[in-house]
Amino acid sequence: MDIEEFQKNFPADLEIPEILVRLLAFQNIRDEYFGGFSLIEFSHDDVLSWFGGNKHAASQFIIFGHSPAGASYGYWLYDKHRIDTAPIVVIGFGGDGNTVVANSLQDFLRVVSIGEDPLCYVITEWGWSDRDEIEVNQNLENYRRWLLRELALTVPSIEEAEAIVTAAKNAHPDLEQWIQQLYKND
């Protein structure tokens, strides 16, 4: 995917964060999922469709990635958050597993470097698996090396990942409740 295609995920007046530009360049070399995650083209119209045409709801999200299992990842710009202060969320496939994941893009990239997929259910229902059971394939290993080399970010321990997610959930509204309330009011 080229940068112009990826720009469709973002409002015209908003620049793609530099970290995502660098990650897109990495992805274009690999053309594979890494850490159970990859960048995608997911335009405002796609977000609008996901929210059943609710323009107010759709305007609060910028989706930039997805998992092999079908979950989507993005910024939640609720209460006039800007992209540099917005939490990163996961919107689960089939409408389940919607949750706040991280307070920053850097924290999110660390959490997905563990390699859990689907991350939405790991966080909301199943809990973190034993690290020994996670398949660390070459794509995930390449992603981890890229994180360290390009951003000086390390793979968190399970405890660190849980702390990242817990801190983010405590700092922001419950996304699942927000979505349920949204549809209750429609």
What pLDDT sits at residue 43?
Answer: 86
Encoding tokens for residue 124?
Answer: 């909301």
Helix axes 105-112, 138-151, angle to 10 degrees: 150
pLDDT higher than threshold 80 for residue 93: no
- What single string gives the DSSP state of each residue in 6-69? HHTTS-TTSPPPHHHHHHHHHHHHH-S-BTTBEE----HHHHHHHTTT-HHHHTTEEEEEE-TT
pLDDT higher than threshold 60 for residue 128: no
Q: pLDDT tens digits, residue range 145-173?
A: 999 999 999 999 888 888 998 999 999 99
Mean pLDDT of 116-123: 59
Q: Are strands 38-39 and 88-91 parallel, antiparallel or unpaired?
A: unpaired
* Mean confidence (pLDDT) of the chain: 85
Tell if the pTM clears 0.85, that is, is over it. Answer: yes
More confident residue, 93 or 140: 140
What pLDDT sits at residue 51?
Answer: 85
pLDDT higher than threshold 80 for residue 110: yes
As a three-state string, the secondary structure of 136-166 is CCHHHHHHHHHHHHHHCCCCCCHHHHHHHHH
pLDDT higher than threshold 70 for residue 123: no
pLDDT higher than threshold 70 for residue 76: yes
Encoding tokens for residue 114?
Answer: 């563990």
What pLDDT sits at residue 91?
Answer: 87
- % the chain with pLDDT above 90: 44
Helix axes 18-30, 138-151, angle to 10 degrees: 150
- Cα separation, 167 vs 162, in Å, equals 8
Mean pLDDT of 131-144: 74
- Cα separation, 43 vs 157, in Å, equals 34
